[in-house]
Chains A and B, each alone.
Chain A
Amino acid sequence: MTTLDILLNVLVSGVLFGSIYAVVALGLAITFGILHIPNIAHPALVIMGGYFVVQANRLGIDPLIAAALGIIPFYLLGMLLYTFYANSFERRGRAEVLQSLTLFFGLSLVIEIFLVLLFGSELQSVSAPYIGTSLKFGQIAIPGRLLVPALLGPVTIGLLWLYFKYTNSGTAIRAVAHDERALSIAGLDPAAVKRRAFGLATATAVIGGTALVLIGPIDPFGGRFQIGRVFAIVVLAGMGSIPGTLVVAIMLGIAESLVSSYLNPAWSPGVAFAILLAALALRPQGLFGAAR
């Protein structure tokens, strides 16, 4: 295997992992990026989505179909969560950052323990025909357990982008981020729009969970390791930019892959944050965001 082959392989796995990071970060790009709700429970919801898929898979349902089945219940769950959040905060006035962060921190603990009590703390995995196969292009091998979840990224993001761009309710969600009052003048209830957006974000958690559980086994606490990375992606992408999320996630995936391959894998967890800190210091509005 030549140096070029190795480099190509490194880049390919960077792109694959980047796309997977993007699906995991997507929900946060909506809640935090558009609604400005710092939902740090999102990674825990993603793991919960993974558990949903695991349970469906036990009944013989393919993980991808299970993901599709999970969208509606998770959408409803998200609406419920938003209602609780809004009742606790927004009706009382301005939601303080500290308090909403803490609320979601508490929520993620409750979700984790809920999973432990229901399913135990052991690793859970799924089986599917494409896990264990791999596609080969010359010297580049792409395992199915990475390719399938990596494809979920662009597909989900593409669909969401179309939704935001070309449907009325999608436009309303984008509008609520900019000017709530204008929205209510136009006869729409901002709270309902936000509730829908939060539901949508939570629905993406089940897709993110599918992606994670396809790569390898998950446990109830797996979300904790994602918190940092997903926030880094959303902030770097520039709040609320959905296509930006994919681009930044892939860049991050490549950076981590390069570090782990050419420097030492032990340094890779710091990569996302080192980039984030540098970027925050130099360009706080993110790479794809408008200046604040």
Chain B
Amino acid sequence: MITRRNFNRLAAVAASSIAMPSVLAGRAFGQDTPIRFGASISLTGALSGTKNGQIGYELWRDDVNASGGLLGRQVELVLLDDQSSASNIPAIYSALADVEKCDVLFGPYGASLTAPVMPFIKQRDLFMIGMFPLAANEKARHDKFFHSAAWGPNSGTDWARGFFDLAKSVGVKRVAILANDLEFSKNAAVGGAKVAEEYSMEIVFNQSYPPNTSDFSSILRNISAANPDAVFVGSYPADSTAIIHGIREIGLPDSVQIFGGAMIGPQYGSLLSSLGPELNGVVNSHLFAPEPTMQTPEIKKFFDRYVPIAEKQGVDPLGYYVPPFYYVAGQLAAAAITGAGSLDQAAMAAWLHGNTVETIVGPAAFNDIGDWTKRRVLMVQIQNVKGNDLAQFREPGHQVILDPPELKSGEFIHPYNKARAS
């Protein structure tokens, strides 16, 4: 584990880079040195809720090393903390590439932190696995960038399309859109509005609210007054809680068939158990749910090992949203290295473009800008939750997959008020 480096290394690199040309000071060759994987993670700041991804990386590293490493070499992680701030990213990735001499890079979490890395990897022509950024590569169109998350192609607008497919299936005509004034929620809201228009639904309410809003009663009353059939919400954990509280206090009209969409929070154990039955009926996006249609021995084995570590570290005890895809990132890079037979970035990218990789979350294949060829964002309805016991969320039947159809694991209960009461 090398999250905390010492000054000596920096000093040594400073000395060596002055003393000799960069070509000679460059990557260490040889069979005995470990392959270095570099990544920035958000240990602190607004995105620190994603820091449990680190466990995914570490489990992957342990597995690879236990099975003899890659190309006969051991694997080593170099993790730096970006404090959730985009302004730290350029220097951090330069440090990973130029100071730490990493052989393979993983991206930082999310779109706003990934945007600063894209010109860097494009200019250096580096291979990188991106971690959860929506539509990160649509402008740069870098051919060595791959997503670990199954957002699918055209993810800027399409990733939440499942919500609107469900809405359409129950005859929704009038949509209300509510979003937090933060990057992910606003992107979700803009994409959602586009899909709603495409399905010729009328947008009867479209507002955003400032982060740290703790009371939604007046907003919910305004939504009710607009009489929508569907409410699409992009929110962060604290406001997700406040919105659910607000619905309990104020209610929503019976006309609402489907509620949720892009709420961050109901994927995490702490929020699921603190809100418990109040979440019943919410239809929300997810990337993994412990339903029979998704459960495999591999992913079960992953969570069996993840849970004790997470409980010890005090991070999300369920870990369905972020950690498996950090493991997947490692698997993708490993497959590319093994497939290419070297650390040559172009060969790795070419191999990944040409082959399907079996990961713990299922097979992954990529299009020309590194999106998964098939969107596999789940729309999950929370059902039959009783009490605040966390263990029930590890069982099937509480986070029922409604979309995509091939993973469907239960029936869509609607309207929302009926589903809430169930």
Residue of A nearest to B268 (CB): A122
A1, A116, A125, A217 interface centre (most CB from chain B within 10 Å): A217
A125, A225, A261, A266 interface centre (most CB from chain B within 10 Å): A266
Residues of the A chain whose Cβ atoms lie less than 8 Å from the Cβ of B274: 125
Query: Is the CB of B242 closer than 8 A to any CB of chain A?
Result: yes
CB of B214 within 8 A of CB of A216, answer yes
**Alpha-carbon distance A169/B312, docked complex (angstroms):** 50
Considering only residues 228-274 of chain B, those with a C-beta below 8 Å from chain A are 237-238, 241-242, 245, 248-250, 270, 274
Partner of A9, one of B48, B210, B221: B221
**Alpha-carbon distance A134/B250, docked complex (angstroms):** 9
A210 to chain B, nearest CB (A): 14
Query: Is the CB of B217 closer than 8 A to any CB of chain A?
Result: yes
CB of A134 within 8 A of CB of B218, answer no
CB of A121 within 8 A of CB of B44, answer yes
**Alpha-carbon distance A67/B244, docked complex (angstroms):** 26
CB of B249 within 8 A of CB of A266, answer no
Count of B interface residues, CB-CB < 8 Å: 31
Residue of B nearest to A266 (CB): B208
CB of B49 within 8 A of CB of A122, answer yes
Contact with A along B195-229 (1 / 0, CB 8 A): 00000000000011111111101110110110000
Known: A10-B218, A219-B238. A143 touches B210 (CB 8 A): no
CB of B241 within 8 A of CB of A260, answer no
Residues of the A chain whose Cβ atoms lie less than 8 Å from the Cβ of B250: 141
Query: Is the CB of B363 closer than 8 A to any CB of chain A?
Result: no
Known: A17-B215, A225-B212. A217 touches B238 (CB 8 A): yes
Partner of A216, one of B209, B217, B242, B248: B242
Residues of the A chain whose Cβ atoms lie less than 8 Å from the Cβ of B249: 134, 141, 143
Contact with B along A69-80 (1 / 0, CB 8 A): 000000000000
Residue of B nearest to A257 (CB): B218
Query: Is the CB of B30 closer than 8 A to any CB of chain A?
Result: no
Considering only residues 231-269 of chain A, those with a C-beta below 8 Å from chain B are 257, 260-261, 264-266, 268-269
**Alpha-carbon distance A157/B210, docked complex (angstroms):** 29
**Alpha-carbon distance A217/B224, docked complex (angstroms):** 25
A122 to chain B, nearest CB (A): 7
CB of A146 within 8 A of CB of B221, answer no
CB of B221 within 8 A of CB of A265, answer no
Residues of the A chain whose Cβ atoms lie less than 8 Å from the Cβ of B210: 265-266, 268-269
B287 to chain A, nearest CB (A): 20
Known: A9-B218, A10-B218, A261-B222. A143 touches B208 (CB 8 A): no
CB of B248 within 8 A of CB of A116, answer no
Q: Identify the B interface with A (CB < 8 A).
A: 44, 48-49, 181, 207-215, 217-219, 221-222, 224-225, 237-238, 241-242, 245, 248-250, 270, 274, 314
